[in-house]
Chain A
Amino acid sequence: MSASGRTSSAATPLARRGLLAGAVAGVAALAAGGCARGASTSAQPGTTSISNDNATWDEGYRSAGRELEKITGYALRPLSNPSVTSYQQVVQMTLQTSKASDLIKWASGYQLKRLARAGGLTDLTRVWQRYADKGWVRRTSRQALSYRGTTYGIPLYESYYVLFYNKPVFRRLGLSAPETWDGLLHCAEVLERNKITPFLASQVGGWPAIEWFQELVSKVDPGFYQRLVAGEASYTDDPARQAMDIWQDFMRKGWMTAPDFDQARGPGALKEGTVGMFLHGTWQASGMAAAGMEPGTDYGAFILPTVRPSTAKSVIAESGVFVVPSRASSHRAAMANVGSWLDPSVQRVWSDFLQDSSANPKVRSANPVVAGLQRDIARNRRLALVRYWEASPPSLIQGNTDDLGGFMAGQASAATTLRRMQERAHDEWAAWKRDEA
C-alpha cells in the first residue's frame, strides 16, 4: 500500500497539474483568439477596415485601396463575412459598440433607412454634396441614400438588371438581342424549339425570387412600379396582375428553369448553352469572366423590352453604399477614404475589377457590354428604378419575397400570391409609418 500509495499520490498532483496547465493554455488560446478577432476592427495605422459580405470582392477593395492610399494615405482592409444573414446581424450589433469597422458595405433604400433609424451612423451630407458639385454622383440617387433629409451613404457601385445572353448560340440560331416584346417572345420560342431553356429563374437563397417580379412589373408600367413600392398602389391592381400572368405563362410554357436552379451556376449554364438568357445584375459580369466568357464575344446583355411599345423605358438599378459608423475605430481615416472613394482614379480600378458600371457617371466601364448598356440608358433616358429589395420596408420585402418563391414553386396562384402580398403591404406600411410617427 505504501509504495503504491506514494506512487499514486505523487502521480495525481502531476496529472492534475497537467490538466490545469492544459486548461489554462486552452483558455489563454481562446482569449488570444478572441483578442485577435477584436483587433481586426481596431485601428491599424495607414488603413481603414471595411466590413463586406462578398469575399470575392476583397481583392478589388485592396486594389482600389492602393489608389485611395495615394490620395488619402489610407489603404482599405476588407473584413469579409460571406453569409449575408449573419453579416447583417453582426453589423447591426457592432454598430453600437467600439468595435465597429471604419467603413461598412450596406444596401441603399429602406435597408439603409432602417440602419440609420437605429442611430450610430455618420452624417455624410457634406461629402455627398461635394461629389454632387463635381458631377461624380447622380443627384437622383440621393433619395435612396438618405433618411429624413440626411445623407448617410455614399454609392459603392451601381448595377443594372439586364438579360445576359450567349452570343454564339444566338448567332447560330439566327437571333439577335431583342428590342421589342415580340422580339423577346420570338427568341424564347426559337430557343425552346432548340431544347435550350430560354430564361434562368431561381428562388434559391430567397432574394432571386424578386428579379422577374420587379422586371415584369416595371416593364408593364414603370410608374405603377414606383407607386407600388412606395405603398401608394395595390398589389392586386391590373399592372401587377398582368405581370404575374406573363410570368405564369412563361413558366407554363417551360421557358424558365426550375425554381431550384442555383444562380451561381448561371454563367456556366449560359456558356454551355443550356440556358439562353440570364436575368441578373450587371455585377454578374465578373462571374461571366470567371467562367471564361469574353464580353462582347461570348456574351452580350440587353435590358428587357417594355411589354407595350408606348410604355416609358426604364431600368432596375441596384446601388450598394458605404456607411461610416459614428464610433468607427479610425473615424478620421474613414471619412477621408469615403470622401475620395468616387474619385475617377479609384473608380477606374474598382470598375475594372467588378467589370461593372461605376457609381461615378463620369467613369465609363471598361467592359464593352456594360459600357453599351450605359450608353443605352443615357440615349433612351431610361428611368432608373430602385431595386425591389431596397424599395420598401425590409419586413415587407422579406415576406413578399417568400410569397414570390412559393408562387414560382407552384404553391400558390398568381391571384393568391398578390392578395397575400397586398395584405402584408397594408400591415407593414402601417407599422413603418407608425414607427416613423
Chain B
Amino acid sequence: MSTPTTDRHAPTTVAGQPAPSHPMRRPPLVPTWSATRERLLAGGFMAPAVILVALFLLAPFVWTIYRSFFSDTRTSPFSWFDNYTLFASDPALSRSIQNTLMWVVGTVVLPFVLGLAIACMTNAGRFSRLARLCVVLPYALSGSAVAVVWNFMLTTDGAVNQVLTGLGLDSLAQGWLLTWPGNTIVMILANAWQATGVAVILFLVGLQSIPPETLEAGALDGAGAWQQFRHIVLPQLRPVSIIVIGMSLVNGLKSFDLIWVLTQGGPGRATETLAVSMYNETFLELRPGAGAAIAVVLTVIVLAASWLYLRRQLDVKGV
C-alpha cells in the first residue's frame, strides 16, 4: 500500500511549469480559478448539511449549556454551577447515575455475550434460520411496543407472577417493577431481549466473512473447537465487536423509551437514568436549568465514552 506522501501529486504553477523537484519544499500557493471554483462548489454541497447540523444540533446544544448556568426561578438569574451541584445534593440524581452505570454495563455485556453466543450457535445447523428469526424479530419492534409487552409480563398481577403462582412458586412472585435494584435489572434484561437481535445480525455478518481456510488450517494444526474460536474466530470478529460494543455503549447511556413506558422513572424516581432525569426535571418538575445541566453532563459522558472507546479501538486497527 502506498503512503499518502507518494500518492500526492506535485503541484504545478500558474504558468504550467513543473514543480520543484524537492519533495519537502512547497511552492507558493497561487489558487487557480478552477481550484477556487472547486472549493466553492464543495462548500456549496456541504453547506446544507453544515447549516442543518449547526442549526438543529450545535445551536441548541450551545443554548442548553448557556441555560444550565441559570437558576429555575421566575427571573432566572445567573447562578454559576448551582445546577451542577444538584448531582452531589439530590439523592434522585445520585440514584440516576447509579442506574445509568447499571444500564451501560448491562446493555454492553448482555447483547455482546448473548449476541455472540447465539450467532455462533445459529451460524450453521438444522433450525438455525428459525432460531435466528426468533432472536432477531424483537429488534424489529419499537421500544414502546416492547415496553407494553413487558409491562403485561412484569406487573404484580402480570403474566410472570401468574405463571409462578400456577407452578406453586408463590414465594418467588413479587412486584418486579417496584423495588430497586430489581426493577432496573429486569428492565435491562427486557432491553437485552430486544437489543440482542442487532448484535446477532452483526456477528453473523462477521462470522460469514471469516475465510474457511483459516479454520481449516487451524484444524489441521490440531486446534480444538475452543482454541479455534479463541484464537481464530474471535480475533477476526474484532471489527464487528468494536461496532457492537460502541453501539451498545451509546444505547445504554441514552436509554429512555423502555423505562418511560414501563415505570416513568418511578416509583419515587427509583428507576430513572440520566436521560429520564433530564426529561423529568425539565418537563415535570419544571426546572429547565437543572434539566439542561443533566443534558450537558449526559452529552459529555456519551461523547467522552464514545471518543475514548473508538479512538482506542480504531487506532489499534489502524483505521
Asked if chains A and B come from one complex, the reply is yes
Smallest CB-CB A-B distances: 3 pairs = A406-B268, A258-B156, A409-B267
Q: B60: shortest Cβ distance to chain A, in Å? A: 15
A407: interface (CB < 8 Å):
yes
Chain A residues, Cβ within 8 Å of B267:
203, 209, 259-260, 405-406, 408-409, 411
Which residue of A has the minimal Cβ distance to B287? A395
Q: A11: shortest Cβ distance to chain B, in Å? A: 22
A434, B73: Cβ atoms under 8 Å?
yes
Chain A residues, Cβ within 8 Å of B284:
85, 206, 398
Which residue of B has the minimal Cβ distance to A411? B268
B302: interface (CB < 8 Å):
no
B285, A260: Cβ atoms under 8 Å?
no
A206, B155: Cβ atoms under 8 Å?
no
Q: Given the known inter-chain contacts A89-B283, A410-B178, A411-B270, please indicate yes or no for A431 contacting B156, CB distance below 8 A.
A: no
For B286, give its contact among A258, A395, A404 (CB under 8 Å).
A395
Complex Cα distance A398/B264, Å? 13
Interface centre among B75, B157, B267 (most CB of A within 10 A): B267
B270, A406: Cβ atoms under 8 Å?
yes
Interface centre among A203, A206, A405, A434 (most CB of B within 10 A): A405
Chain B, 134-193, CB within 8 A of any chain A CB: 155-157, 175, 177-180
Chain A residues, Cβ within 8 Å of B287:
395
Size class of the A contact interface (CB-based, 8 Å): 20 to 34
For B266, give its contact among A89, A114, A261, A402 (CB under 8 Å).
A402
Chain B residues, Cβ within 8 Å of A406:
266-270
Chain A, 371-404, CB within 8 A of any chain B CB: 394-395, 398-399, 402-404
Chain A residues, Cβ within 8 Å of B268:
402-407, 409, 411-412
Q: Could you write out 20 A-B pairs with CB less than 8 Å apart? A: A85-B283, A203-B267, A206-B264, A206-B266, A260-B156, A260-B267, A262-B155, A395-B285, A398-B285, A402-B269, A404-B268, A406-B270, A407-B268, A409-B268, A411-B267, A411-B268, A431-B73, A434-B73, A435-B74, A435-B75
A117: interface (CB < 8 Å):
yes
Interface centre among B73, B155, B268, B283 (most CB of A within 10 A): B268
A409, B179: Cβ atoms under 8 Å?
yes
B179, A411: Cβ atoms under 8 Å?
yes
Q: Mark A137-155 against chain B: 1 for CB-CB distance below 8 A, else 0.
A: 0000000000000000000
Total interface residues on B, using CB and 8 Å?
24
Complex Cα distance A411/B92, Å? 12
Which residue of B has the minimal Cβ distance to A197? B157
Chain A contact residues, CB within 8 Å of chain B: 85, 88-89, 114, 117, 203, 205-206, 209, 258-262, 394-395, 398-399, 402-412, 431, 434-435
Chain B contact residues, CB within 8 Å of chain A: 72-75, 92, 155-157, 175, 177-180, 264, 266-270, 283-287
Chain B residues, Cβ within 8 Å of A260:
155-156, 175, 177-178, 267
Complex Cα distance A209/B269, Å? 13
Chain A residues, Cβ within 8 Å of B92:
402
Complex Cα distance A88/B75, Å? 21
A117, B283: Cβ atoms under 8 Å?
no
For A117, give its contact among B74, B179, B285 (CB under 8 Å).
B74
Chain A residues, Cβ within 8 Å of B155:
258, 260-262
Which residue of B has the minimal Cβ distance to A260? B155
| Interface majority SS (helix, strand, loop, mixed), chain B | loop
Q: B90: shortest Cβ distance to chain A, in Å? A: 10
Q: A89: shortest Cβ distance to chain B, in Å? A: 6
Chain A residues, Cβ within 8 Å of B269:
402, 406
Q: Given the known inter-chain contacts A398-B285, A399-B285, please indicate yes or no for A258 contacting B178, CB distance below 8 A.
A: yes
A259, B285: Cβ atoms under 8 Å?
no
Which residue of A has the minimal Cβ distance to B154? A260
Complex Cα distance A431/B73, Å? 7
Q: A64: shortest Cβ distance to chain B, in Å? A: 31
Chain B residues, Cβ within 8 Å of A408:
267
A409, B283: Cβ atoms under 8 Å?
no
Complex Cα distance A404/B267, Å? 9
Chain A residues, Cβ within 8 Å of B74:
117, 435
A409, B178: Cβ atoms under 8 Å?
yes
Which residue of B has the minimal Cβ distance to A394? B286
Chain B residues, Cβ within 8 Å of A206:
264, 266, 284
Complex Cα distance A431/B286, Å? 13
Q: A432: shortest Cβ distance to chain B, in Å? A: 9
For B264, give its contact among A89, A205, A261 (CB under 8 Å).
A205
Interface centre among A88, A259, A402, A410 (most CB of B within 10 A): A402
Interface centre among B73, B180, B283, B284 (most CB of A within 10 A): B284
Q: B159: shortest Cβ distance to chain A, in Å? A: 13
Which residue of B has the minimal Cβ distance to A258? B156
Chain B residues, Cβ within 8 Å of A411:
179-180, 267-268, 270
Q: A399: shortest Cβ distance to chain B, in Å? A: 6
Complex Cα distance A417/B74, Å? 28
A405, B266: Cβ atoms under 8 Å?
yes
Interface centre among A89, A117, A395 (most CB of B within 10 A): A395
Which residue of A has the minimal Cβ distance to B282? A89
Complex Cα distance A89/B267, Å? 23
Query: 10 other contacts beyond A398-B284, A435-B74, with CB at 8 A cut-off?
Result: A85-B284, A117-B74, A205-B264, A260-B155, A260-B267, A398-B285, A399-B285, A406-B270, A411-B267, A431-B72
Q: B269: shortest Cβ distance to chain A, in Å? A: 5
